[in-house]
Amino acid sequence: MNRDDILKDINARFPLDIVDIFDKSPKRVYIEIKPVSLTRVAKYIFKDLGARFNTASGVDTRHYMEILYHFTIEDIGLLISLKVKLDKSKKLEIDSLAPIFEGANWIEREMHELLGINFKGHPDLRRLLLSDEWPEGVYPLRKDYKEWDKKAIRDRGV
Amino acid sequence: MSLKLKALLKSPWVFHLSTGSCNNCDIEVLDCLTPRFDIERFGMLLAGSIKHADVLLITGSCNRQSVVRLKRLYEQIPKPCLVVAIGECSLSRGMFIHSYNCPVPLDKIIPVDVYIPGCPPKPEAIIAGVVKLINKIKEGKAKKK
Amino acid sequence: MIIYLYYLLIYGFLLTAIIGLFASWVDRKVTARVQYRVGPPLLQPLIDIVKLLGKDTLIPTGASKAVFLMAPLIGLASTILVSALLWVNNINSTNTFLGDLIVTLYLLAIPSISIMMGGFASRNPLASLGASREMKLILSYELPFILAVLVTVIKSDFSIRLGDILNYQAQNGFIAGDLSGLLALITAIMCVQAKLALVPFDIPEAETEIIGGPLIEYSGSGLAIYRLMKNMLLFTLPFFLIILFLGGLRFDGINLLFSVLKYIGLVALITVIRNTNPRIRIDQAINFFWGPMTIMALIAVMLALMGK
Q: pLDDT tens digits for C123-134?
A: 888 888 889 988
Delineate the domains of chain A, giving CATH numbers in brackets.
3-93 (3.30.460.80)
Check whether B142 has a pLDDT greater than 60: no
Q: Quick check: do C and B touch, 3+ CB pairs under 8 A?
A: yes
CB atoms B97 and A154 under 8 Å: yes
From the list B92, B100, B103, the residue facing A140 with the nearest CB is: B100
A 96-135: CB under 8 A from B: 130-131, 133-134
B4 at interface of C, judged by CB pairs closer than 8 A = yes
More reliable by pLDDT, A2 or B57: B57
C-alpha–C-alpha distance, residues A22 and A27, integer Å: 12
Preceding amide of A140 cis, omega within 30: no
C-alpha–C-alpha distance, residues C265 and B145, integer Å: 46
Q: Cα Rg for chain C, rounded, in angstroms? A: 19
Check whether A50 has a pLDDT greater than 60: yes
Helix (H, G, I), strand (E, B) or coil at B58: strand
- Identify the bridge partners of residue A94 per DSSP, sorted by sequence position: A119
User: What are the tens digits of pLDDT across the range C68-96?
Assistant: 999 999 999 999 999 999 998 888 878 78
User: What are the tens digits of pLDDT across the range C234-278?
Assistant: 999 999 999 999 888 888 888 889 899 999 999 999 999 999 998
Delineate the domains of chain B, giving CATH numbers in brackets.
10-138 (3.40.50.12280)
The set of residues, in sequence order, having a beta carbon less than 8 Å from that of C276 and lying 6+ positions away, is none
Q: Could you report the predicted ipTM of this complex, rounded to two decimals?
A: 0.88
C-alpha–C-alpha distance, residues C215 and A11, integer Å: 67
User: What are the tens digits of pLDDT across the range A120-141?
Assistant: 989 988 888 888 888 888 899 8
**Chain B contact set for A140 (CB, 8 A):** 100-101
B145 at interface of C, judged by CB pairs closer than 8 A = no
Going from N- to C-terminal start, the domains of chain C cover 2-305
Q: Euclidean distance between the first and final Cα of chain A, in Å?
A: 62
Interval C152-177 mean pLDDT: 87
Q: Mean pLDDT in chain B?
A: 87
pLDDT at B145: 47
Interval C98-116 mean pLDDT: 91
C62 to chain B, closest Cα gap in Å: 15
For residue B9, the chain C residue with the least C-alpha distance is C51
Please state, for a pLDDT cut of 70, what percent of chain B lies above it.
96
Q: Euclidean distance between the first and final Cα of chain B, in Å?
A: 12
Interval C202-217 mean pLDDT: 76
- Among B70, B91, B100, B102, pick the best mutation site for testing chain A contact (most A Cβ within 10 A): B100
Size of interface A-B (CB pairs under 8 A): 26
A127 to chain B, closest Cα gap in Å: 13
B20 at interface of A, judged by CB pairs closer than 8 A = no
Closest to B9 measured CA to CA, from B79, B81, B66: B81
**DSSP assignment letter at A135:** P
